[in-house]
Chain A
Amino acid sequence: MTNHAQPLQETHWAFQPKAIAVAGSILGLVAFWSALPPFTVRSPLVPVLIGVLAIAAGLWAVTRGTRRLGWGAIASGVIGLGLGLLATRSSSGNLHVVFAADLVAQVFVFATPLTFGALGGMVSERSGVVNVGLEGMMLMGAFWGVYGADKGGTWVVGILAALAGGGLFALLHAYWSIHLRANQIVSGMAINFLALGVTGYFFEQLYGNQNIPSGVSTVPNVAIPGIDHMAYLGPAIGDLNLLIWVGVAFVPLSYFILFKTPIGLRVRACGEHPRAADTVGINVYAVRYAAVVVSGMLAALGGAFLSIGFGGGSFTENMTEGRGFIALAAMIFGNWRPFGAWGAALLFGFSTALAYRLPVYSSSAATLFQVLPYVLTLIAVAGVIGRSVPPAADGQPYVKQ
């Protein structure tokens, strides 16, 4: 069938439907962006034209068999056209407030816990263990991170404590779901509630009267020399937290490990067909245990970012506030792939950051804007945009024969 669709003559890569569809998706973004600072085009014609171009590119790609990417380009074009039109109608003063360069920095801030969580969930589920407990592992990371940084005197100890806390709960999840073959959803939910109770209890016991003291060592920001004082790039990426960069770096790293190394192949084999993996001599249990523990540690890093990264050395009960679940949605939205999950995390981060700024338009709707990321989560999980295919053996305990 693929042979049939393949033209005999070799076309240049730039004219392949796939490339056109990707270009269409980008054009959709440009349609919106053209009406925003620093360009701030005021004529509605520009976003409309670019948007139509994006839709046309998408349609062209769809008719040539590139369905998923093509429809993505069409959606991007329609959304870009609509938002672009809206933006040309808005006062440019408000636009400059909402879409200032530091919005990029905030998108990263909100996307980072989701990135860690989504990557963690992906590692676990690629090995065949559903991890609904991300939220709890993230919460453990948040609390033990700040505890370690406080008692250990440095954020490095905090990170180690966070990894230990998240890893420990992940180990528990692994024991329940791999060893005892419990229902993995139930086990994950148990982890979430357990983490809520454990962190709440210790927070009350250790910091009940005083709260976290001020001046706890926190993960430093990375000021990039040369960029940190530049006009647009400076406020955007010139001075981001170290953990944000670590999160960004983990995206290609996890892609490389999962898809380009023998270790990744083994993990994926356990998630797709554990019996086959077993017959070629892979220790399915060991791989799954390792993957789940790594997953918990990644989620814990996301939690540590909340408490001793951006949080500036603070903790509140239930600090993660469902971010673990949004990370799970980002992973599904991203089709269990690193770059997809990261893209979804950035999208959720963008919508959260936007929700803080939109009250410029209507302060009375401020609380309403805060639902934006959750609505987006619903849309993502409901599978409106494309169908996601989980690993074949995801959620199935393996019984060795």
Chain B
Amino acid sequence: MKKSLLVAAAVALLAGLVLAGSGTAAPAKAHATFTAALVSDIGKFNDKGFNEGQLAGLKRAGKQLGIKTLEIQSNSSSDYLPNLTTMVREGANIVSAAGYLLAPTLSTVASQFPNVDFTITDDSVKGADFAKAKSVKNIEGLVYASNQSGCLVGYLAGEMAKAKGGKQVIGAVGGIEIPAVDDYIVGYNYCAKLADPGVKVLVGYSQDFVAQDKCKTVAQDQIGQGSQVEFQVAGGCGIGALNAAAGAGIWGIGVDVDQYSLAKNVLTSALKRIDVGIFTADKQAKSGQFKGGSDLLFDMKNNGVGVGKISPKVPKGFITKMNQLKAKLISGKVKVPVAKGSDLLGLLPGAHVGPTH
């Protein structure tokens, strides 16, 4: 009797040790397979821009940080909710939502998984999109000063139009009239007029981020009105605007990622380093430095926005002048306005509202 008790106690002790051992081992194992996930918006990962750029950032994080990565594509807006929860269920430690379109869904999902980190591209957790959220403690906003990159390409566009002479008209094709789009255009308009005070900036919206023919139509309207440069701010749809510009023999300007090789006659691209944003957030989360409830600002100063490859046909003098302007943006001497309702207000030093045309 006593003997058997002793055995039982020994077994219990052993089992306890084993259990305790596995208990401490489990988190270590989870840490080894830190998982970062990305959910696309309806633009999908093959948009040659916004979503594809973020996916590149995720892949880079996987390679350089040695973490596991998961990506899932949203084919319609009804996919946002299941996709976000699927990523959590598959063990993601950080889930990135690729754009403001996911904001309403994320604001309800995030508080249900308090132990998972979330990021949202192009949106502020302090903005209106998250005003009704129960908690934003585990969401980080990745906000880009796209007005600054819009500014630099606008400056080049203005210089090119001035050099060409004749009617001074340039255009911008936006997807939908929202702050994330208009920040680019406001900067474009502001700095085009720095280069060429007499330039007229035409602004049109295709009401779409996917269908190329719609952006092509809007761009052709503007080209018909004498536009010399077409700036696309409409994701995959905007490739149609670049094609329209190429077809008419005028300049096109790409957006978000370097779109130099997507069409003929691309002057340059207004970059938003969405890949850097995802990479930075994943790195933070892995090292336990994730700052939920706040926004990360990516601007000219920290190389979060910029200008892509510039056509060799652009005179060197213009590029030099543009780089001088860039230095002024970094030092804060020139303060580029932002769109009405922009998340950059109160985040970017000296941000103030300006017109789109």
Contact = CB atoms under 8 A, between A and B. Distances in A.
Contacts of B236: 211, 316
B177 to A, nearest CB: 7
Contacts of A235: 224
Interface stretch (A23-31, A264-272, A292-300, A363-371): A363-371
Question: Which of A109, A207, A211, A370 has the most chain B CB atoms closer than 10 A to its own CB?
Answer: A211
B204 interface: yes
A109 B48 contact: no
B208 to A, nearest CB: 9
Contacts of A319: 211
A312 B221 contact: no
B263 interface: yes
Interface string A335-370: 000000000000000000100110100010011001
A207 B46 contact: yes
B243 interface: yes
Contact of B221 (A214, A221, A357): A357
Nearest to A211: B46
A310 B218 contact: no
Contacts of B47: 211
Interface string B79-103: 0000000000000000000000000
A363 B177 contact: yes
A106 B222 CA distance: 13
A100 B207 contact: no
A333 B221 CA distance: 29
A359 B204 contact: yes
A209 B263 CA distance: 19
B225 A306 contact: no
Interface string B212-241: 110011101100110000000000100110
B47 to A, nearest CB: 7
A231 to B, nearest CB: 13
Contacts of A311: 212-213, 216, 240
Interface string B229-266: 00000001001100100010000000000000111000
A211 B45 CA distance: 9
Given A214-B261, A311-B212, A367 B207 contact: yes
Nearest to A96: B225
A97 B240 CA distance: 21
B218 A356 contact: yes
A312 B224 contact: no
A322 to B, nearest CB: 13
A320 B157 CA distance: 34
Interface string B185-221: 0000000000000000000110100111100111011
A395 to B, nearest CB: 33
A354 to B, nearest CB: 11
A207 B47 CA distance: 11
A208 B46 contact: yes
A109 B216 CA distance: 11
B243 A312 contact: yes
Contact of A312 (B75, B207, B240): B240
B224 A102 contact: yes
Interface string A210-224: 110010000001000
A314 interface: yes
A29 B67 CA distance: 67
B224 A310 contact: no
Contact of B207 (A221, A357, A366): A366
Nearest to B75: A317
A124 B75 CA distance: 34
A207 B45 CA distance: 11
A341 B300 CA distance: 55
A312 B216 contact: yes
Nearest to B213: A311
B209 to A, nearest CB: 10
A304 to B, nearest CB: 13
A252 to B, nearest CB: 27
A307 to B, nearest CB: 9
Contacts of A321: 211
Interface string B256-294: 000001110000000000000000000000000000000
Contacts of B75: 317
Contacts of A214: 239, 261-263
A318 B247 CA distance: 25
Contacts of B210: 316
A357 to B, nearest CB: 6
Contacts of B48: 211
Interface in A175-218: 207-211, 214
Interface in B32-70: 45-48
Given A214-B239, A214-B261, A214-B263, A366 B177 contact: yes
Contacts of A359: 204-205
A221 B249 CA distance: 14
Given A235-B224, A314-B239, A306 B213 contact: yes
A34 to B, nearest CB: 22
Nearest to B243: A312
A314 B46 contact: no
A214 B48 CA distance: 10
Contact of B225 (A97, A207, A210, A367): A97
A316 B207 contact: no
Contacts of B247: 221, 312
B204 A310 contact: no
A106 B225 CA distance: 14
B217 A106 contact: yes
B177 A316 contact: no
B217 A109 contact: yes
Closest 3 A/B residue pairs (Cβ): A211-B46, A102-B224, A314-B212
7 contacts: A209-B46, A311-B212, A311-B213, A311-B216, A312-B240, A314-B240, A359-B204
Given A310-B216, A319-B211, A353-B217, 18 more contacts: A102-B220, A102-B224, A106-B217, A106-B220, A207-B46, A208-B46, A211-B47, A211-B48, A211-B236, A214-B239, A214-B262, A221-B247, A311-B213, A311-B240, A314-B239, A316-B210, A321-B211, A359-B205
Interface of B: 45-48, 75, 177, 204-205, 207, 210-213, 216-218, 220-221, 224-225, 236, 239-240, 243, 247, 261-263
Interface of A: 97, 100, 102, 106, 109, 207-211, 214, 221, 235, 306, 310-312, 314, 316-317, 319, 321, 353, 356-357, 359, 363, 366-367, 370
